[in-house]
Amino acid sequence: MTASTTIRSVSAADVERLTDLFHAMYIHYWGPDAPSRADIAAHIGRDVLPSGCEVIIAECDERAVGLATFAVLYPGPGIGGQLTMKDLFVIGEVRGRGVGKALLSHLAKIAVERGCLRLDWTAETSNPEALDYYDRLGVQRVREKIYYRLDGSALKDWAGTAKT
Protein backbone atom coordinates (compact mmCIF):
# COMPACT_ATOMS: atom_id res chain seq x y z
CA MET A 1 0.00 0.00 0.00
CA THR A 2 1.29 3.45 -0.79
CA ALA A 3 1.82 6.03 1.92
CA SER A 4 -0.99 8.11 0.44
CA THR A 5 -3.68 5.43 0.85
CA THR A 6 -6.56 6.39 3.12
CA ILE A 7 -9.65 4.48 4.18
CA ARG A 8 -12.84 6.22 5.16
CA SER A 9 -16.59 5.83 5.38
CA VAL A 10 -18.56 7.07 2.40
CA SER A 11 -21.14 9.81 2.39
CA ALA A 12 -23.85 10.94 -0.01
CA ALA A 13 -21.18 13.05 -1.74
CA ASP A 14 -19.40 9.85 -2.86
CA VAL A 15 -21.98 8.58 -5.37
CA GLU A 16 -19.60 9.15 -8.32
CA ARG A 17 -16.69 7.38 -6.59
CA LEU A 18 -18.93 4.50 -5.58
CA THR A 19 -20.31 4.31 -9.11
CA ASP A 20 -16.74 3.97 -10.43
CA LEU A 21 -15.95 1.17 -7.96
CA PHE A 22 -19.26 -0.68 -8.33
CA HIS A 23 -18.97 -0.48 -12.13
CA ALA A 24 -15.42 -1.89 -12.01
CA MET A 25 -16.61 -4.65 -9.67
CA TYR A 26 -19.58 -5.56 -11.89
CA ILE A 27 -17.37 -5.66 -14.98
CA HIS A 28 -14.85 -7.82 -13.11
CA TYR A 29 -17.52 -10.36 -12.15
CA TRP A 30 -20.06 -10.15 -14.98
CA GLY A 31 -18.21 -8.62 -17.93
CA PRO A 32 -20.56 -7.41 -20.68
CA ASP A 33 -23.61 -8.28 -18.55
CA ALA A 34 -22.68 -5.56 -16.05
CA PRO A 35 -25.32 -2.87 -15.49
CA SER A 36 -24.78 0.57 -17.00
CA ARG A 37 -23.05 3.33 -15.06
CA ALA A 38 -26.30 5.33 -15.03
CA ASP A 39 -28.23 2.41 -13.53
CA ILE A 40 -25.50 1.86 -10.94
CA ALA A 41 -25.46 5.54 -9.92
CA ALA A 42 -29.26 5.56 -9.54
CA HIS A 43 -29.11 2.34 -7.53
CA ILE A 44 -26.48 3.73 -5.16
CA GLY A 45 -28.40 6.94 -4.48
CA ARG A 46 -31.80 5.25 -4.24
CA ASP A 47 -31.01 1.89 -2.60
CA VAL A 48 -27.48 1.48 -1.29
CA LEU A 49 -26.81 4.63 0.73
CA PRO A 50 -30.24 4.80 2.41
CA SER A 51 -30.30 1.04 3.16
CA GLY A 52 -28.27 0.95 6.35
CA CYS A 53 -25.49 -0.96 4.59
CA GLU A 54 -22.26 0.81 5.36
CA VAL A 55 -19.47 1.30 2.86
CA ILE A 56 -15.82 2.16 3.35
CA ILE A 57 -13.53 3.09 0.48
CA ALA A 58 -9.79 3.06 0.01
CA GLU A 59 -8.31 6.00 -1.83
CA CYS A 60 -4.81 6.30 -3.29
CA ASP A 61 -3.77 9.78 -4.32
CA GLU A 62 -7.43 10.86 -3.98
CA ARG A 63 -8.66 8.13 -6.37
CA ALA A 64 -11.07 5.47 -5.08
CA VAL A 65 -9.36 2.10 -5.56
CA GLY A 66 -11.26 -0.28 -3.28
CA LEU A 67 -14.32 -0.77 -1.14
CA ALA A 68 -15.91 -2.94 1.48
CA THR A 69 -19.62 -3.10 2.26
CA PHE A 70 -20.80 -4.28 5.66
CA ALA A 71 -23.44 -4.25 8.37
CA VAL A 72 -23.49 -5.03 12.06
CA LEU A 73 -26.00 -7.77 12.85
CA TYR A 74 -27.67 -8.57 16.15
CA PRO A 75 -27.84 -10.78 18.03
CA GLY A 76 -24.28 -11.88 17.64
CA PRO A 77 -22.25 -14.20 19.79
CA GLY A 78 -22.63 -13.45 23.49
CA ILE A 79 -24.11 -10.00 23.92
CA GLY A 80 -22.08 -8.40 21.15
CA GLY A 81 -22.87 -7.87 17.53
CA GLN A 82 -21.40 -9.50 14.48
CA LEU A 83 -19.89 -7.37 11.75
CA THR A 84 -20.66 -9.01 8.42
CA MET A 85 -18.82 -7.98 5.29
CA LYS A 86 -20.81 -8.38 2.09
CA ASP A 87 -18.18 -7.39 -0.47
CA LEU A 88 -14.50 -6.57 -0.62
CA PHE A 89 -13.23 -5.27 -3.94
CA VAL A 90 -9.97 -3.69 -5.08
CA ILE A 91 -9.39 -2.52 -8.65
CA GLY A 92 -6.98 -4.70 -10.59
CA GLU A 93 -4.19 -2.20 -11.04
CA VAL A 94 -3.56 -1.88 -7.28
CA ARG A 95 -4.11 -5.49 -6.22
CA GLY A 96 -1.15 -6.91 -4.34
CA ARG A 97 -0.34 -3.56 -2.71
CA GLY A 98 -2.08 -4.21 0.62
CA VAL A 99 -5.32 -2.32 -0.07
CA GLY A 100 -7.56 -5.35 0.60
CA LYS A 101 -5.74 -6.14 3.82
CA ALA A 102 -6.03 -2.49 4.89
CA LEU A 103 -9.79 -2.56 4.24
CA LEU A 104 -10.13 -5.74 6.31
CA SER A 105 -8.04 -4.24 9.10
CA HIS A 106 -10.25 -1.14 9.08
CA LEU A 107 -13.35 -3.35 9.34
CA ALA A 108 -11.77 -5.22 12.25
CA LYS A 109 -11.21 -1.89 14.04
CA ILE A 110 -14.84 -0.89 13.45
CA ALA A 111 -15.97 -4.27 14.80
CA VAL A 112 -13.90 -3.87 17.97
CA GLU A 113 -15.03 -0.25 18.47
CA ARG A 114 -18.69 -1.31 18.19
CA GLY A 115 -18.36 -4.22 20.61
CA CYS A 116 -18.63 -6.93 17.97
CA LEU A 117 -17.09 -10.25 18.86
CA ARG A 118 -16.42 -11.35 15.29
CA LEU A 119 -16.11 -10.31 11.66
CA ASP A 120 -17.66 -12.75 9.17
CA TRP A 121 -17.94 -12.91 5.39
CA THR A 122 -18.48 -15.41 2.64
CA ALA A 123 -16.52 -16.10 -0.52
CA GLU A 124 -17.78 -17.87 -3.60
CA THR A 125 -16.28 -21.30 -4.24
CA SER A 126 -16.18 -20.23 -7.90
CA ASN A 127 -13.70 -17.46 -7.00
CA PRO A 128 -10.43 -19.30 -6.28
CA GLU A 129 -8.46 -16.04 -6.26
CA ALA A 130 -10.51 -14.75 -3.31
CA LEU A 131 -10.26 -18.08 -1.48
CA ASP A 132 -6.49 -18.14 -1.98
CA TYR A 133 -6.20 -14.51 -0.86
CA TYR A 134 -8.07 -15.11 2.42
CA ASP A 135 -6.13 -18.33 3.04
CA ARG A 136 -2.83 -16.47 2.51
CA LEU A 137 -3.95 -13.90 5.08
CA GLY A 138 -4.37 -16.75 7.57
CA VAL A 139 -8.07 -16.10 8.12
CA GLN A 140 -9.99 -19.02 9.63
CA ARG A 141 -12.41 -20.84 7.31
CA VAL A 142 -15.74 -21.64 8.95
CA ARG A 143 -16.62 -25.19 8.07
CA GLU A 144 -19.56 -25.69 10.42
CA LYS A 145 -21.84 -23.24 8.58
CA ILE A 146 -23.91 -23.89 5.48
CA TYR A 147 -25.01 -20.93 3.41
CA TYR A 148 -28.62 -20.85 2.15
CA ARG A 149 -30.25 -18.62 -0.45
CA LEU A 150 -33.63 -17.70 -1.87
CA ASP A 151 -33.43 -15.89 -5.19
CA GLY A 152 -35.29 -15.35 -8.44
CA SER A 153 -38.68 -17.06 -8.64
CA ALA A 154 -38.10 -18.94 -5.37
CA LEU A 155 -37.71 -15.61 -3.55
CA LYS A 156 -40.91 -14.29 -5.15
CA ASP A 157 -42.74 -17.51 -4.29
CA TRP A 158 -41.68 -17.27 -0.65
CA ALA A 159 -42.61 -13.59 -0.53
CA GLY A 160 -46.09 -14.54 -1.72
CA THR A 161 -46.53 -16.99 1.16
CA ALA A 162 -46.14 -14.32 3.85
CA LYS A 163 -49.12 -14.11 6.18
CA THR A 164 -50.17 -10.71 7.45
Q: What is the pLDDT of residue 62?
A: 86
Q: SS3 of 134, please? A: helix
DSSP 28-93: HHHGGGSPPHHHHHHHIIIIIGGGT-EEEEEEETTEEEEEEEEEEESS-STTS-EEEEEEEEE-GG
Q: What is the DSSP letter of 13?
A: G
**Whole-number pLDDT of residue 109:** 97
Phi, psi (deg, nearest 5) at residue 21: -70, -45
The model's pTM is 0.87
Nearest-angstrom CA–CA distance, 81 and 135: 24
Report pLDDT for 147: 87
Domain containing 156 equals 5-160
Q: How many domains does the chain divide into? A: 1
Domain containing 153 — which CATH number? Answer: 3.40.630.30
Residue 118 is which amino acid? R
Neighbours of 130 (CB within 10 A): 17
Q: How does pLDDT run along the chain (164 residues), one tens digit per residue?
A: 555 789 999 988 998 999 999 999 999 988 988 999 899 988 888 888 888 889 999 999 889 999 999 999 988 777 888 999 999 999 999 999 999 999 999 999 999 999 999 999 999 999 999 999 999 999 999 999 888 989 999 999 999 876 55
